[in-house]
Structure 1
Amino acid sequence: MNLIQNVDWAALAPPLVTAVAAVVVLVADLFLPAGRKAPLAWVTVGGLALALAALAPLWNDDRTTFCLADDPGLCSYSADRFALLVQLLVLGGALLAALLTVPELRGAGEGDRDGLPGGEFWFLLLSSASGAALLPAARDLATLVIALEVTTLPAYALVGLRRGSATGPEAALKFFLSSVTATAVGLLGVSFVYAGAGSLFLSEIAAELPEADPQLATLAKAGVALTLVGFVFKVAAVPFHFWVPETYQGAPLPVAGYLSVVGKTAGLAGLALVTTGAFPGQGNVWGPPLAVLAGLTMTVGNVAALRVAADGAHSAVRVLAWSSVGQAGYLLVPLAAAGFVEDGGAARDAVGTALAYALMYGAVNLGAFAVLALVVHDRRAAPPGTGRRVVDFRGLFAERPLAALALAFFLLCLAGLPPGVIGLFAKVAVFRSAVDAGLGVLAVVMALNVAVALGYYLRWTALLFQPGPEPQDGPGSGAGDAAAPAGRPTFAVSTAIALAASVALVLSGAPQLILTFTGGGL
């Protein structure tokens, strides 16, 4: 028997290139002087761009590697259409987050006690991105859990990495403790599933779990439910959402944007793999709970965001944090619908709908964070906190017309209103998946939540075009700070806004592309 493992390096290229870039940044950081670490930012951006380019040769050819020698059909890594779509989203999201971080790290290591340590930050970001790129290609539970933890462990440090931050360490600790608890519960579920199926490969579990010993039936069902917990936490679904507002608020702004898109997408991909990949025969076990979680998540997230946005003095990051919780509810609807359909093709289409919504959400949500980063950069000379409040966006159109128009477009996409056609298109697709699966109540709950969300998205959009506050004399005047003259935008942040807006505009111009692009799901 030939036990030599053949590795398809081309299939592994996206996560591998990202991991190699992380090692290069870590080693270079050891030898570069404190004031000469700026090139590491562009090494990071270049590494992520190269990882994205490595997706192109794989697009029309499903490839597998790390297969069993005695059963080549069982593989731990599969570069199929689902994996490539998620890798495109997480690596693109990491690239935009890296661009947002360039002004944050400008001057870090040069005596700025409140800055981010450049080398460590880039290494942690790339390490997390490599795990997020590995996760959607994992085809066994061991690789899946390891990839999830590689994605999450560096994120704990990213949240609390800023020097002198009063809120970062507390936010990182809350994130860490809640995440570890969810992971422990998920691992317990994996052990139960292994006891029932006798394998960790997703395809083997799908085949063997329905035929498990009847004495282990209850244990297997408990394992299915518990396994979902670790992934539902990463998606930030209710009641596993409580870490989100504090973590996003305490984290550096680019890290909050990264978690809201890349971390959420990784959790969504893992959830899709274990539900429709490993547990397709247990839809009656995981379908109803996911439907309930979807309804609760969108309701709690949107109502909380509406309440926070009603007071303009609250942080815009906190509004986006609660908004991301609400959006997670919409992401869960197609996955819940997949548990109620009998046909495997319909389940795959439901997963494709979830991916389509994730692509729309990822582009416009990171775009919103990019404009927020630009406003904070403009107010960097003002008292701490200025530029982060919702009220600080009043009159942005007079200061920065293009940035205001971009943010208005991103918010309208999230709301599902024209001219954000792609947001409307994605919401209709999600709504249709619920109706087709017979989830009429969930469809009604979603429609009501879309109406609730209009309250805070439109309120914020209207602020952008209102007259700005009049400058006031005297130090510490909030109005005067808000009206401070706009500084010169950095090239990196402007590029991030332009990229996000370009993707959203192209998809809004041809919205049918996104479902064609993601059609077929798993």
Structure 2
Amino acid sequence: MTQTVNHFALLPLYAAGGTALLVLVLELAFGRFVLPAGILGGLATIGAAVALGLRPASTFCGPEHCSWVSGPQAAVVAVLFAALTIGVLALSAPALRAGIAPPGEFCFLLAAAMAGGVVIAYAGDLITLIVGLETLTLPLYVLVGLRRFAPRERVTTTGASAAVTFFLVSVISTAIALLGAALLFASTGVLHLAVLTEGSGPLAPLGAVGAALLVIGFAFKVAAVPLHAWAPATYDGAPVPVAAYLSTASKLGGVVALAAVVQRLDTGPLVAVLAVLTMTVGNLVALRQTRTVRLLAWSSVAQAGYILAALAVGSAGVPAAIAYALFFVVLEFVAFAVVVAVRGPSADGGDLADFRGVGRGQPWLGAALVLALAGLAGLPPGLAGLFAKVTVIAALINAGWGWLAAVVALNALIALAYYLRVAALLYARSEPVGVPFADLPAPEPAATGSTVTAVADPDLLRAATHPRVPVPRTVAAAVAVAGTITVVLGFAPQWIFDALLG
């Protein structure tokens, strides 16, 4: 049989892979223009994905099934991967222009990761899916180690140790996933997602073990408990824009991979246990966090638990899980973008105390972060997050998993504690600070030599000791665009998502 290749179906991959090659050539030939090339390549990938979404086509097909399958859901995922790549490039632009990080290597690695995300979106079999996940993840090992972004004196985790932790756990999880895929193939003789099954007869137990191992291996990508320990250390040790990519694009890849297998395999009980552990541990540990990026990391662990809860019911919960993932990554990106805007391009995420009064000094940044936090908590005005949580809970109730819906609701209430704490901190006044003035003239001779303490105005003192970092235009644009998308998604009618998610 002669197999033909439909190059139109591969346009998004050509655009993403071509971006990586273009950036590499420009860096070697001219040493500049790499950032605009990366952004234009991301836009080209979006255009190619939209064109393929309007006119679906598949390729690498056998007698019955294809390894590259397009559709509305694949187009949405590919567009989101490309958009997140553009957003992270915008957040990183000031640091790249200042030479804090190597622009050529950074843009090339990010474009290569985007190509992996595109492969995940269109994967039609397990091997293509795992290759896409690894192509997405491998460049991130190096990006995490680019610790020149931030000063080291306040960093609790170095970039090198964060990269090594991320690499070791990822390699183990990949080996587990490959073993699961091998056992499934040994049991059923199929790898295409459209006909994926655990099999029947004497080899059915082997297929069940393979399905469990596959889910556990993919669970690493979403930082599900007990494969979550890498996330807080890695996020805190990585440059903040890279942490944003890890928390959004990398997690989206894991969700898509899990959704592709759980809707065809009987893994509901295992995924439900992972969901309960993930959301509960994530929320309880987030309550104790004082560093900003670590709090966002534990929050993203908890959010992964909500997504896993929807996936536990199988195919009936996949649309809700994908919708929740789409909302989550946009809200999470807004939160990280505000952190970059407040802290500056070369700083780490800092402590929560560093964000005290930000809403007073920079109202639009405070409003954007409150919008993101409210959405992650499922509260107005973050209507996107509220819609997402209602969608997940409704899917669980409709599938007869009322107990899991109750666990989701309980954990959402627990999460309110730290989301509201951070939101309130943004508009809190600085505490009065006693400032000793030993050299002030004593008002009376008897008081000569005494120390007089004057209480300085807290806002003036903070302005003098913690000056606001000017927000670069590219970072401001990223915050504004992501915030606008969040608001639009919050008001989007249900039928739009039904059409997009099939």
Q: Is the 8 A contact 1:394 1:469 kept in 2?
A: no
One-letter amino acid of the structure 1 residue matched with residue 9 of structure 2: A
Give the match for residue 179 of structure 2. Answer: 188
Query: In structure 1, how many angstroms separate the alpha carbons of the residues matched to 2:38 and 2:433?
Result: 40
Give the match for residue 486 of structure 1. Answer: 468
Query: CA offset at residue 511 of structure 1?
Result: 4.8
One-letter amino acid of the structure 1 residue matched with residue 179 of structure 2: L
Query: In structure 1, how many angstroms separate the alpha carbons of the residues matched to 2:331 and 2:65?
Result: 37
Query: In structure 1, how many angstroms separate the alpha carbons of the residues matched to 2:298 and 2:229?
Result: 10
Q: Deviations over 1:354-395 (max 9, x none)?
A: 1111111111110110000001118x6xxx75x621111111
Q: Is the 8 A contact 1:353 1:515 kept in 2?
A: no
The 3-state SS of whatever aligns with 1:66 is strand
Seq. identity, %:
42
Q: Is the 8 A contact 1:469 1:483 kept in 2?
A: no
Give the match for residue 147 of structure 1. Answer: 132
Matched, 1:94 2:85: yes
The 3-state SS of whatever aligns with 1:9 is coil
Matched, 1:290 2:290: no
Query: In structure 1, how many angstroms separate the alpha carbons of the residues matched to 2:243 and 2:338?
Result: 13
Matched, 1:324 2:286: no
Give the alignment of 1:499-518 within 5 angstroms.
499-512=481-494, 515-518=497-500
> Among residues 411, 431, 441, which one is paired with 2:393 in the alignment?
431
Give the match for residue 454 of structure 2. Answer: none
One-letter amino acid of the structure 2 residue matched with residue 393 of structure 1: F
Give the match for residue 40 of structure 1. Answer: 34
Q: Is the 8 A contact 2:50 2:75 kept in 1?
A: no
Query: CA offset at residue 458 of structure 1?
Result: 0.5
* Structure with max Cα Rg: 2
The 3-state SS of whatever aligns with 1:11 is coil
Give the match for residue 167 of structure 2. Answer: 176
The runs of at least 4 consecutive aligned structure 1 residues that moved more than 6 Å come to 470-474
> Among residues 60, 80, 83, which one is paired with 1:66 in the alignment?
60
> Among residues 363, 368, 372, which one is paired with 1:410 in the alignment?
372
The 3-state SS of whatever aligns with 2:287 is helix
Q: Is the 8 A contact 2:76 2:500 kept in 1?
A: yes
One-letter amino acid of the structure 1 residue matched with residue 327 of structure 2: M
Query: In structure 1, how many angstroms separate the alpha carbons of the residues matched to 2:288 and 2:391?
Result: 28
- 327-336 or 77-86, which deviates more: 77-86
Give the match for residue 9 of structure 2. Answer: 11
> Among residues 239, 249, 254, which one is paired with 1:262 in the alignment?
249
Query: In structure 1, how many angstroms separate the alpha carbons of the residues matched to 2:486 and 2:495?
Result: 12
The 3-state SS of whatever aligns with 2:147 is coil
Query: In structure 2, how many angstroms separate the alpha carbons of the residues matched to 1:448 and 1:86?
Result: 30
Give the match for residue 344 of structure 1. Answer: none
Q: Is the 8 A contact 1:507 1:514 kept in 2?
A: no
> Among residues 211, 233, 236, which one is paired with 1:224 in the alignment?
211
Q: Is the 8 A contact 2:45 2:79 kept in 1?
A: no
Query: In structure 2, how many angstroms separate the alpha carbons of the residues matched to 1:430 and 1:492?
Result: 34
Query: CA offset at residue 225 of structure 1?
Result: 0.8
Q: Is the 8 A contact 1:353 1:519 kept in 2?
A: no
Give the alignment of 1:99-498 within 5 angstroms.
99-108=90-99, 115-163=100-148, 167-206=158-197, 209-211=198-200, 214-276=201-263, 280=264, 282-283=265-266, 286-308=267-289, 314-338=290-314, 347=315, 349-377=316-344, 388-468=350-430, 480=462, 484-498=466-480
Query: In structure 2, how many angstroms separate the alpha carbons of the residues matched to 1:155 and 1:514?
Result: 33
> TM-score with structure 1 length normalisation?
0.86
Query: CA offset at residue 210 of structure 1?
Result: 3.0
Give the match for residue 452 of structure 2. Answer: none
Q: Is the 8 A contact 1:469 1:480 kept in 2?
A: no
Aligned length: 474
The 3-state SS of whatever aligns with 2:8 is helix
Query: In structure 1, how many angstroms separate the alpha carbons of the residues matched to 2:90 and 2:240?
Result: 12
Query: CA offset at residue 517 of structure 1?
Result: 4.4
- 184-193 or 508-517, which deviates more: 508-517
Query: In structure 2, how many angstroms separate the alpha carbons of the residues matched to 1:159 and 1:393?
Result: 24
- 161-170 or 57-66, which deviates more: 161-170
Q: Deviations over 1:116-142 (max 9, x none)?
A: 111111111110111011112111111
Q: Is the 8 A contact 2:342 2:471 kept in 1?
A: no
Query: In structure 1, how many angstroms separate the alpha carbons of the residues matched to 2:397 and 2:387?
Result: 15
The 3-state SS of whatever aligns with 2:61 is strand
> Among residues 25, 28, 35, which one is paired with 1:27 in the alignment?
25
